[in-house]
Structure 1
Amino acid sequence: MKIKSSLFALILVLSTFLAACGGQDQAEESGESEENEEIEVTEETLKIYTTIFPLEDFARKIGGEYVDVQNMVPVGADAHTFEPTARQMIEVAEGDAFIYNGAGLEGFVDALINTVGEENVTIVEASEGIDLIDYDHDQSHGDHEEHGHEEDHDHEHEEHGHEEDHDHDHEEQGHEEDHDHEHAHNHDEDPHVWLDPVLSIALAENIKTTLIELMPEQEEYFTANFNEVKEELEALDAEFTQMAEEANKDTFLVSHAGYGYWEERYGLNQVGITGLSPTNEPSQRQLQEIINFANEYELNYVLYEQNISTKVAEVVQDEVGAESLYLHNLEALVAEDVENEEDYFSLMRKNIESLRTALE
């Protein structure tokens, strides 16, 4: 058992921290995914904690029988606003690795790292080494005149610099635009890297490297599993590319602006009703701009998400007379996903089909 005597002091520190944060009990209400209960933990099992579902899924696929993976953000919650319980923080300190997305997504991470940093747990920022795109705040509130939206949609998208050869060198993610915006929240860069299948290869590779460091005798096993994940991510990228090239439109209307990496990779344009964080709601003027834009460009669908409030999006849908579809942002599962045994790839392929309909 890894817990040290210093953790008794840790409990006191955590109690103070959580009181300042409002003392949420989300994790205890929903718990981790039910499948975690089926894992038999042995001395040869690595205890891994993650923050979002893609990291949980990749870690489980790569680690296989040698890992017990638990996601801290419970079913149906939002990683942007989630706060862990004291019990969860102590469990992380007793674990082998804590793997988080980073890039400003999880607001609680800095406090957690400061709290458990002296314990024998490996801390991994999964997005490390990935070139992040800057978040254009105008795109979340209907200021999209620059996209043009030619109805022939030849998908060359010169204005975005998206060469169609898809050589997948990460250098193409250089993102030299100078988005010199004042931000209402702490996101200067878009953290939703897992929605890009190509960048997700880097996430998975960082997880593989961590598992090998923790259990070097299983390097061959972890590497073989990673290669399978990589191949499926490459296939998913090809499916996304084909869908985007075949679409009649290039713009979709979605409840929050978390899909910038699809713009960057596939030349698609999002109109986010709320901002990069779902708490960044539009003003009345911005809301009217979104409605006007949707009417002008005949955006006939509003895409809702599984863990984001529908209140503002419903206003837009009613004003536009649009139909509803669903995108899954994959941050966290909902109960239906658990029941259906969904994984990263099944959910992303459902997203492709939703986009195919929305872009008709």
Structure 2
Amino acid sequence: MKKIIVFAMALMLVACSNSSDSSKASDDKVSIVTTSFIGYDIATQVAGDKATVDNILPWGSELHDFEPTAKNMTAVNEADLFIYLSVDLESWVESSSENDNALNLSKSYTLEEHEHEDEEVEEDEHDHASLHFWSDPTTYIQLIEATEERLTSIDPDNKEYYEERAEAYIDEIEALHEEFNEYTHSLTDPTIYFSGHSAMDAFAERYHLTITSLSDEYRPDADLTAQQIETLTNEIESSGSHYLFTEELVEPRVAKQIQSSLKEKNYELTILELHSYHNISKEQSEEGITYADLLRQNIDNIKQALGN
């Protein structure tokens, strides 16, 4: 009798152990490491609660100046999925760019056809692409699709979950794109003025929007001359526009300088933000701000500047 009881207890222990192991396996999540808000946004929107997503770029910091730590690189190499923008923008990723777990977003899309000045731009392999390719929402949609496909290959058991979340996010961005595309095509030479570095060329090209900026340099710390500032000030005044855009996460020092200069002439100027999606603040990350939210904000601000 004692042998039977001992044997039964042993079976129970084995069963409990197997149950515990099974529970742990079901709780395992895909580990994703990203290098930017762009990768982080796409990963979190598609993966939902099936993955842990670690963005190694600190919130509120400058994308172009980031240098990874040894701990960052360990996380990159050990992740199930490593999402980065491009080697051109993030030269430090080169050593990990060919890893099996790496997804290069700059190689994950083709430029969609669109008409520009009565000429059709054919789909190509990035002949018209820019360093800041993600600012075109039609490109962003392709980045979502590429991420969903990679996640599905890593975690096929959750294929339908990833597909549904990707489709829902794509629908949200697609609706914003179609509405704004129709709006800008109804205008003749829509032009806005920007007091920062030029980082929205893909966005401007998509919507046939002219963004007159202070500098063609993509770096926010590019040197600006007094002549550049004076030229932009005169262009704003000559155009009759009363709006000036500035980039995110930086003190709009130059924009305020232009605003003050024009105010001396009794010319009112309102400063608005044109977000290029490089990064968001810590507070915005806690609020769950998404690319779609920022796209909607950009659209609303541009409409305000164009008087609609």
Q: TM-score, with normalisation over the residues of structure 2?
A: 0.78
Q: Distance in 1 between matches of 2:189 and 2:247?
A: 21
1:100 CA displacement: 0.8
Counterpart residue number, 1:265: 206
Letter of the structure 2 residue corresponding to residue 304 of structure 1 = T
Q: Distance in 1 between matches of 2:204 and 2:160?
A: 36
1:326 is aligned to 2:273: yes
Structure-to-structure mapping, 1:100-249, within 5 angstroms:
100-102=84-86, 104-110=88-94, 113=96, 122-131=101-110, 158=117, 161=119, 170-171=123-124, 175=128, 190-245=130-185
Cα distance change, pair 109–328 in 1 and its aligned pair in 2 (3 A)? same
1:207 CA displacement: 0.8
Counterpart residue number, 1:26: none
Q: How many residues align?
A: 275
Please point out which of 270, 285, 296 is paired with 1:338. 285
1:354 CA displacement: 0.6
1:237 CA displacement: 0.7
**CA-based RMSD:** 3.0
Q: Distance in 1 between matches of 2:120 and 2:132?
A: 19
Structure 1, gaps ≥5 residues long: 1-39, 134-155, 164-168, 176-188
Deviation per CA, 1:31-90, whole angstroms, max 9, x where unpaired?
xxxxxxxxx997531110112213212111211222111111111112111222222222
Q: Distance in 1 between matches of 2:174 and 2:78?
A: 35
Please point out which of 305, 308, 314 is paired with 2:250. 308
Counterpart residue number, 1:294: 236
Cα distance change, pair 71–162 in 1 and its aligned pair in 2 (3 A)? farther
Q: Distance in 2 between matches of 1:356 and 1:84?
A: 39
Deviation per CA, 1:264-297, whole angstroms, max 9, x where unpaired?
1111111222322212233333333222222222
Counterpart residue number, 1:55: 39
Cα distance change, pair 325–210 in 1 and its aligned pair in 2 (3 A)? same
Contact 1:51 1:71 (C-alpha < 8 Å) held by counterparts: yes
Percent sequence identity is 28
Letter of the structure 2 residue corresponding to residue 261 of structure 1 = A
User: Which structure has the larger Rg?
Assistant: 2
Structure 2, gaps ≥5 residues long: 1-23, 264-268
1:239 CA displacement: 2.2
Segment drifting more, 261-270 vs 78-87: 78-87
Letter of the structure 1 residue corresponding to residue 204 of structure 2 = E
Higher relative contact order (CA 8 A, sep 6+): 1
Q: Distance in 1 between matches of 2:26 and 2:71?
A: 21
Counterpart residue number, 2:77: 93
Q: TM-score, with normalisation over the residues of structure 1?
A: 0.68
1:217 CA displacement: 2.6
1:131 CA displacement: 4.6
1:315 CA displacement: 2.7
Contact 1:162 1:264 (C-alpha < 8 Å) held by counterparts: no
Letter of the structure 2 residue corresponding to residue 197 of structure 1 = P
1:246 CA displacement: 5.3
1:174 CA displacement: 5.0
Cα distance change, pair 286–325 in 1 and its aligned pair in 2 (3 A)? same
Contact 2:141 2:173 (C-alpha < 8 Å) held by counterparts: yes
1:132 CA displacement: 6.8
Q: Distance in 2 between matches of 1:264 and 1:343?
A: 22
Q: Distance in 1 between matches of 2:261 and 2:189?
A: 21
Structure-to-structure mapping, 1:20-99, within 5 angstroms:
44-99=28-83
